[in-house]
């Protein structure tokens, strides 16, 4: 069994025709550096199929599997299903409250993904109280986190990875205005991650002015891979395959 898995990740590439080709030169060498690539949402600017075709051109046909989720920008045109279809036609796996298992040699790498939603963090979070709009806002985040957590826990794999657009922790929002934290993530995503067995890595985007590194209350490493944060085509994280799974 593979001793470690190399996970490349980037989010918030916000592609349109004018930035086509920004990432591709670095991606051509990806196979020697990573076993799979995660795209953490906000792949387009306004969520149009035309922009999605730019994403397909940039991230399609790579030598490693590509697993993606959509971000809030990819929903803006109310054409998220068409956007996802364009990406799937290009060979990308697109998740939403669903999971997939990628075989890296003989190691099964499980990825569960959701866009997620806001709501805030401990001591400063929205609650399902008051106006219907407030209840709907809070309920949306709770329902996504619940369904996502079930998918994450159900993955039959050797290495388990969480892929969200919104952040599960405030740590990786450091640098963003405190006032907008409730629109950047939710503690409910961290609860879902910490409830699943042995999550090795939680990747997210969305917080362009945030920080790269954080940790869930349960100790899972969190990485904000928004392109404006990592400032390169992708970051690569090496995950150890649990010792019990490696041959003696
Ligand atoms: Fe973004
Ligand atoms: Fe976003």
| Residue 243 pLDDT | 56
Q: Which ligand is nearest to the CA of 10?
A: 1
What separation in angstroms does the CA of 184 have from each of 24, 85, 208, 214? 28, 26, 10, 14
- Using the mean position of ligand 2's atoms as its centre, give its distance from the Cα of residue 114 in Å: 12
What is the average pLDDT value for the chain, to the nearest integer?
95
> Mean pLDDT for each consecutive 10-residue tract of the chain (248 residues)?
87 96 94 96 98 98 97 98 98 98 95 98 92 96 98 97 98 97 98 97 98 98 98 96 57
Distance (Å, rounded) from C-alpha 123 to C-alpha 114?
A: 24
Q: Which ligand is nearest to the CA of 229?
A: 1
Q: Is the pTM of this model over 0.85?
A: yes
DSSP string, 41-52: S--BSS--HHHH
| Residue 242 pLDDT | 78
- Using the mean position of ligand 2's atoms as its centre, give its distance from the Cα of residue 223 in Å: 15
- Using the mean position of ligand 1's atoms as its centre, give its distance from the Cα of residue 151 in Å: 24
Which protein residues have a CB closer than 5 Å to ligand 1 (ion)? 12, 42
Q: What tokens does 104 get?
A: 């890296």
């Amino acid at each position: 069994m593979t001793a470690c898995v190399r996970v490349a990740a980037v989010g918030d590439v916000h592609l349109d025709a004018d930035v086509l080709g920004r990432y591709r030169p670095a991606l051509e060498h990806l196979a020697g550096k990573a076993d799979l690539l995660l795209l953490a949402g906000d792949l387009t600017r306004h969520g149009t199929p035309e922009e999605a075709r730019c994403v397909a051109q940039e991230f399609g046909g790579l030598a490693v599997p590509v697993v993606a989720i959509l971000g809030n920008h990819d929903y803006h045109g109310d054409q998220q299903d068409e956007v996802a279809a364009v990406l799937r036609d290009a060979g990308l796996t697109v998740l939403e409250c669903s999971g997939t298992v990628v075989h890296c040699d003989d190691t099964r790498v499980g990825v569960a993904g959701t866009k997620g939603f806001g709501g805030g963090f401990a001591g400063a979070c929205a609650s399902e109280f008051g106006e219907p709009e407030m209840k709907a806002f809070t309920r949306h985040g709770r329902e996504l986190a619940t369904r996502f957590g079930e998918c994450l826990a159900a993955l039959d794999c050797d290495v388990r990875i969480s892929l969200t657009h919104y952040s599960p922790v405030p740590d990786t929002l450091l640098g963003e205005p405190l006032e907008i934290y409730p629109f950047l993530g939710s503690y409910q995503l961290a609860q879902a991650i910490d409830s699943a067995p042995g999550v090795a890595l939680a990747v997210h985007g969305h917080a362009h002015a945030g920080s790269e590194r954080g940790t869930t209350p349960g100790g899972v490493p969190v990485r904000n891979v928004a392109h404006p944060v990592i400032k390169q085509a992708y970051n690569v994280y090496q995950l150890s395959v649990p010792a019990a799974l490696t041959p003696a």
